[in-house]
Each structure stands twice: as C-alpha cells, then as structure tokens.
C-alpha cells in the first residue's frame, strides 16, 4: 500500500514525487526530523535541482586552478607558493525580509567560506540591485519607500559586519530597476590568500576522528532558511523574519583567527562552516565528500535557547559556527586554541566508516540518513524553456539619429545607475589590512598588494553591461558580464585568472525562466572559453520573484586578475597632454543602444543587441601588455551611459578636460551612449603613439585617436556639432546624493 504524503506545509517544500524519492532513499517513511533534513538539503538553495545539470557546461579547469567548484571556494595559484581563494554568494531573500541582518549574515557567510579553506580574507566586494528609490511611472511612492528601507538596511548591514570584523570592502556595483522592487539582490564576494600547504578541504576522513562544533551557541534563528530562499517572495515576508539569521561579527573575528591558526596543522583533517541548513548540511557535505559517516550526540550541542528539539538543533542556521574534524590525538590541543579565543568547542560526535549520519538525543535515535542521499542524490530536473518573442525597436534608430545634447549627457551622468557611489562606499572601511592600493570609486577594479611580492590582485564584481540586456538576450547578459569583469581588471593592467559567478534568476519552472537560466549560463561559458578564464566557484539564486513578476535576469561575475608588477598598474585619470584613444569595435550603430540606460529611460525596451566576443577578448588580452610596456598609462572601459559618460568619468577623476573628436555624425546618440561591451578608452604619451598603433595592429584591435587631454572643459565633437561640458558641472552632476 502506498502511503499518502503528509500535507504540503509539513514537507518543507518537497513535492509529492520528491517525498516518495525520500522514502526510496531511506527504504522507509521518514520521521519528522529526517523529513526536515531532506526538505532543507533538497531545496533549490542547497541542491541546485534545476541548475546543476547546466553548471557542468562552465569551464572550470586551467593550469592555475588548484581547487575548482565543489568545495567552499575556488583556489587559484598566484606564484611563490601562494594562492588566491575566492567565491561569491547571494543573500537575496533574507535581505528582502530583514535587510540589515540579511546583508550582514551574507557577508559573514562568505567570509567563512574563505577562511574555512585556510585562507586569510583580505577583501570584500558586493553587487547590489534595488528598485528605484524615488517614485516614478513604474514605481509607486509606497514601493519607493520600501526600496529606500531595503537600500539603507542592506548598505548598513554590509558596513556593520565588514567594518567590525576588519576586512576591507574594496569594490562593487549598485544598479536600480523596477523589477527589483521588493526583491533586492545582495551578492557578496570575499577574496583571501593562502599558502598552498595551508589549504584545508571540507572532506571528513578517518573512522574514530572527532567532530568539534565550534563558535556560537545554537539558537532558533534561520530554521529552514534554505527552504525559504528557494521560494517566490510573497506578501508573507514579515512572517518570514524567523528564517533570517542574526550575525555577530566580533565573534566571527575570533572564530576566523582561531581557524587560521589551526589551518594546515597535523591532526586537523577538515573544516566546514555551518550556513544554509546548519548542522545538517555540514554533516552531509563533510561525510559525502569523504565517503564516511558520523555518529552525533545532539545533547552535546551548546544552545542558547531552552527546549530546542532535535529538529531545531539540526536545522538551525545560527551564524558563526564551524564543524571541525580532528584526530583524537590532536583534539585537546585544538580545543585549547579555541579556548584561548574564548570560543565554545564541543565534542558532538565521531566519524564512522559506515557512510550514514546517525544522530541521537536524550538517548534516542532521531535520524539515520546517508550523507550522500542528503547532499548528492536530490532529484535533477531537466528544464525546457522557450524565449519571449524578441521585440523589434524602430525607436532605437530614431533615438540614435537625434542631435547630440549636453542635457542628455548630464542626465545620464547623474542618473542613479551612473552617478558617484561615494555615499555608499564611504560607509565601508576599505583600508583595513593596509593592502588596498586602489579602492572603490578610484578605478574600474580594486587593486590590492600581495605582501612579500611585487604582484597585485585586481578585483571586480559586476553584472552585464548594458544592465538591462538580460531582458532582451540572457545569453549576452552572461557573456557581457564576463567581458565586463575581465575588462575591469584588464584596465588596471592585470590579466584575469579566474571568475566566480552568482546566477540571479526567476523561477526555473516557467518556460521563460528556464530559457533565461540556460541561456545565461551558456553565455558565461562561451565568454570564459573565448577568454581562457575558468569558473572556479559560484552560487545560484532562483525564484527571485514577487507577485509583480520576476527580476531581470542578472548573472553577476566576480573576477580576479593578477598583475606581476603592481607599480605598472594603470590609473583611471588621464594626464595633461596625453593623447586619448578608443580601443575596440566602434559600437556606433543603433542596436548598440539596445538595453542601454538611455534606451530604457526613453522606454525603448526592444532591439537586437550583439557582442563580438573574439574582438572583446583581444582587447582584454592587449591591455596588460600595454601596461607592462608602459605604452599607455590610463584606461577606463565604456559601460553605463556609453562613451560619453566614460569620458566624463575620466575627466572628473583627472580634474582635467579634453578636446575630443568622436567620429562621424550619422548616428550621434549611438556614438555617445551606445553600451556594447568590449571598448576601452586609454591615455598615452604622444611619444608612444607608434608603439600603441603597432601593438593594436599586431593584436587585431581597432584603434581610433580621439584627441588630447587638457583644459577646463570636456568638448565632445561629432562632425560639426560640439557638446561642451565644464568640469565643475560634470563633478556636481556626478556627485549628487541618493
């Protein structure tokens, strides 16, 4: 006889079919605790049920890759026995419910992913998306008020956690669009440095080895947070507050220092942080990766609330906790290290040879589950999507042909998606650790020294440019996000060596959502192959929807670049007398406006965007050579607002104007404000012009001389028309507050 599954509200998000798969995995009906464990571990947030079959398309190997996807973070060799360790994670749903703690615990979680690997975190970055902060045609006053609340809370949470723990927040991006109203995106990236011999993996081994639960005591916060993060946001968000964790950065600082002290020590077998699904996930992943099991006494788990059930102890997502596997001989010494940092270190169980997790409470068995069943055997769904019909836009052709206007340039420069982010990043301490050479706002990428060497790391996190291209072509959204990140580090003079991606999409169960997810991943994969850059870690966040609809498809890419001699890094600001050049395909046709800031401000939502990946990759590959040879000294890529806004940014950074001839006047608005990725403005001494031409010719990169830097105004000429922009007005427009 087939038993009917329990009511939907008791299955923690499991479907009828998945419930029966749980029975098959156990060979019996699950008890309430086991059902909760499977519900969390088989959620989209933990199991990647719809995305994992697609993620194998991403290139993840390379000569520098030491650890690829599947561990807590990716690890890439940077020479001299050192490695860079990095990953990006999302905390979108928690931040929509409780923005301060949602963002703060997102930062705390990604930091643990890094020091769990034995790496010292040296930098944080973030990619943030919000609905408009001001009411408008597509945003009500109530929605704008809510968006401002979310914006202030998220920025405060990031600042509060990062500043307290002492890790600099060195870069990021912020974008506004009505589709993010009520469903903000909060993607946090952390970067660390480790010696090769200190890298620690999350793989339990050795029957009889001891399981130490270290750090904060366990409470009821965050229970079934993984299931919550795998559902569409509805009107019940206030009821979801208990699913949001609460962070303590001061305790995490102690936990980080203790774990780093122990990394690489004999007797420390593995480390795993407790994030989504709490102790359940840590036990499942440690044992499944190691092919072992665990015996756990839940009564030994230190807790801060009375009367907690075994279900609550296993599924709590209380922050600042780690599960450490140590040999019996090393246990006392490891415990003494944690005691010195005034941290709990409780022996809660042992590793077993039989690959089963057995937990008991009050002397009674509460679960008997294979770690592999929890961590690896969730169902995989082949998604079958279909695209929305592409929208043609004759309006783009008319817009592209309009006369150039000073007011239009200033409108875009001062728009929410282009203006100065100083009101945001000044709340972050970006100089902690004394490694930061180029911080937020001073360049397209942050630049950090690698102490003890001449090298530097260029770091970026960015989404697709143009920002709204995902609505038109998610393949190009993924591809252009990769190109944007690669250009950000390349204009610093660095070579991109690895990326981490965060895939923010709507429901994969709709035809459109499935198509957007698949095409976005394919775009990232293709761009990475063309660039020769591996994806070594990442995160997937689906069901980013409200009753008003899904977010824009938003693939976000964190990029790490390496510069061998950081003294040769490029600046953003040009210098007086330097010649200004444009590298890359011109991008001055009407469809270069498709998905652009200008087009969407004019409600032109169609068009056929395009991107020549091979051509863009040649620009990325050329820039480190130009920097190393001293052929160019300044560089900035064209992004939001196009060529005109990029030139304004360089002039503002330099506090020096320029007299520039931008080219033919047939489609002046396309020339000024087209946003096709793959173009870079560089500044070079006039004496290096021949070397620049020769290098571009050898690399197959188009080159156009624009003019010379100097004066108090920025003059942009297109044929007989000139747009004159006084530097004082540019600076005032760009620096307006939010």
- Residue of 660, 492, 652, 667 whose CA lies nearest to 590: 667
pLDDT of residue 196: 95
What is the DSSP code string of 311-341? Answer: HHHHH---SSEEEEEE-HHHHHHHHHHHHHT
Residue 307: inside a domain, yes or no? yes
- Residue of 55, 107, 204, 101 whose CA lies nearest to 534: 55
Residue 31: inside a domain, yes or no? no
pLDDT of residue 241: 44
Q: Which of 91, 93, 344, 636 is catalytic?
A: 91
pLDDT of residue 235: 54
Residue 384 annotated among the catalytic residues of the structure = no
Residue 563: inside a domain, yes or no? no
Range of the domain at 344: 203-372
Burial class (CB in 10 A: 0-12, 13-18, 19+), 498: buried
List helix spans (H) across 451-510: 474-490
Residue 270: inside a domain, yes or no? yes
Instruction: Give mean pLDDT in consecutive 10-residue pieces for the chain, a chain of 738 residues.
Output: 62 87 94 94 91 94 96 96 97 94 94 96 97 91 96 96 95 95 96 95 93 95 61 53 74 96 92 92 95 97 94 94 96 97 96 97 95 93 79 82 95 96 92 90 95 96 88 95 98 98 95 94 98 97 92 96 97 97 90 94 90 97 98 97 97 97 88 95 97 98 97 93 95 91
Residue 367: inside a domain, yes or no? yes
For 146, residues 6+ apart whose C-beta sits below 8 A from its C-beta are: 131, 181, 182
Biggest CA pair distance of the chain: 87
Backbone angles phi, psi at 295, to 5 degrees: -110, 125
pLDDT of residue 606: 87
| Cα–Cα distance measured from residue 342 to residue 677, given in angstroms and rounded to the nearest whole number | 51
Counting the structural domains of the chain, the total is: 1
Residue 216: inside a domain, yes or no? yes
* CATH code, 230: 3.90.650.10
Residue 623: inside a domain, yes or no? no
Contact (Cβ atoms closer than 8 angstroms) between residue 711 and residue 656: yes
Residue 343: inside a domain, yes or no? yes
Residue 45 annotated among the catalytic residues of the structure = yes
pTM of this prediction? 0.94
Backbone angles phi, psi at 607, to 5 degrees: 110, 170
């Amino acid at each position: 006889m087939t038993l009917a599954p329990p009511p939907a509200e008791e299955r923690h998000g499991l479907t009828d079919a998945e419930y029966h798969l749980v029975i098959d995995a156990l060979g019996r009906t699950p008890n309430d605790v086991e059902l909760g464990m499977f519900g969390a571990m088989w959620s989209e947030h933990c199991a990647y049920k719809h995305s994992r079959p697609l993620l194998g398309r991403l290139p993840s190997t390379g000569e520098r890759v030491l650890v690829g996807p599947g561990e807590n973070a990716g690890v890439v060799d940077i020479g001299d026995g050192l490695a860079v360790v990095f990953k990006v994670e999302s905390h979108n749903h928690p931040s929509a419910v409780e923005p301060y703690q949602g963002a703060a615990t997102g930062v705390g979680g990604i930091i643990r992913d890094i020091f769990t690997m034995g790496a010292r975190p040296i930098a944080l970055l973030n990619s943030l998306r919000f609905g408009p902060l001001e009411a408008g045609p597509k945003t009500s006053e109530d929605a704008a008020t809510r968006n401002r609340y979310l914006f202030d809370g998220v920025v405060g949470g990031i600042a509060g956690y990062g500043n307290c723990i002492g890790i600099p927040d060195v870069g990021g991006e912020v974008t506004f669009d009505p589709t993010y109203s009520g469903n903000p995106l909060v993607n946090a990236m952390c970067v660390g440095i480790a010696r090769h011999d200190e890298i620690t993996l999350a793989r339990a081994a050795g029957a009889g080895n001891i399981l130490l639960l270290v750090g904060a005591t366990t409470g009821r916060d965050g229970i079934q947070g993984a299931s919550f993060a795998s559902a569409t946001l509805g009107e019940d968000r206030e009821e979801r507050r208990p699913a949001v964790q609460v962070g303590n950065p001061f305790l995490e600082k102690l936990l980080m220092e203790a774990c780093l002290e122990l990394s690489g020590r004999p007797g420390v077998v593995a480390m795993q942080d407790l994030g989504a699904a709490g102790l359940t996930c840590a036990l499942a992943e440690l044992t499944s990766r190691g092919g072992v099991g665990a015996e756990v006494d839940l009564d030994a788990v230190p807790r801060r609330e009375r009367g907690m059930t075994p279900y609550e102890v296993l599924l709590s997502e209380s922050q600042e906790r780690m599960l450490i596997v140590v040999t019996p001989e090393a246990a006392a010494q490891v415990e003494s290290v944690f005691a010195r940092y005034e941290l709990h270190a409780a022996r809660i169980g042992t590793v077993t040879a039989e690959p089963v997790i057995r937990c008991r409470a009050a002397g009674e068995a509460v679960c008997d589950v294979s770690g592999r069943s929890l961590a690896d055997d969730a169902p995989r769904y082949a998604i079958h999507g279909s695209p929305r019909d592409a929208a043609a836009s004759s309006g783009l052709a008319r817009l592209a042909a309009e006369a150039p206007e000073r007011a239009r340039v200033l409108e875009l420069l001062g728009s929410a998606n282009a203006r100065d982010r100083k009101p945001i990043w000044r709340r972050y301490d970006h100089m902690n650790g004394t490694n930061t050479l180029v911080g937020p706002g001073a360049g397209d990428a942050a630049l950090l020294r690698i102490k003890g060497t001449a090298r530097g790391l260029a770091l970026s996190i960015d989404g697709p440019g143009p920002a709204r291209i995902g609505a038109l072509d998610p393949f190009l959204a993924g591809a252009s996000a990769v190109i944007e990140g690669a250009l950000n580090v390349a204009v610093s003079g660095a070579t991109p060596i690895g990326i981490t991606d965060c895939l923010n999409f709507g429901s994969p169960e709709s035809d459109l959502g499935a198509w957007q997810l698949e095409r976005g991943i394919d775009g990232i994969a293709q761009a990475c192959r063309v660039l020769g850059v591996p994806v070594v870690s990442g995160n997937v966040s689906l069901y980013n929807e409200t009753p008003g609809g899904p977010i824009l498809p938003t693939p976000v890419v964190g990029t790490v670049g390496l510069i061998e001699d950081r003294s040769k890094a490029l600046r953003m600001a040009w210098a007086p007398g330097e010649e200004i050049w444009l590298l890359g395909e011109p991008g001055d046709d009407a469809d270069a406006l498709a998905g652009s800031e200008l087009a969407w401000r004019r409600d032109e939502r169609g068009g056929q965007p395009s991107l020549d990946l091979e051509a863009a990759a040649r620009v990325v590959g050329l820039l480190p050579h130009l920097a190393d040879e001293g052929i160019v000294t300044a560089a900035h890529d064209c992004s939001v607002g196009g060529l005109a806004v990029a030139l304004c940014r360089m002039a503002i950074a330099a506090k020096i104007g320029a007299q520039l001839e931008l080219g033919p006047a047939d489609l002046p608005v396309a020339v000024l404000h087209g946003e096709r990725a793959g173009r870079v403005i560089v500044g070079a001494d006039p004496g290096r012009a021949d070397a620049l031409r020769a290098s571009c010719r050898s690399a197959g990169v188009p080159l156009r001389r624009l003019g010379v830097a100097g004066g108090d105004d920025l003059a942009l000429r297109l044929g007989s028309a000139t747009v004159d922009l006084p530097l004082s007005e540019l600076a005032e427009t760009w620096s307006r507050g939010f």
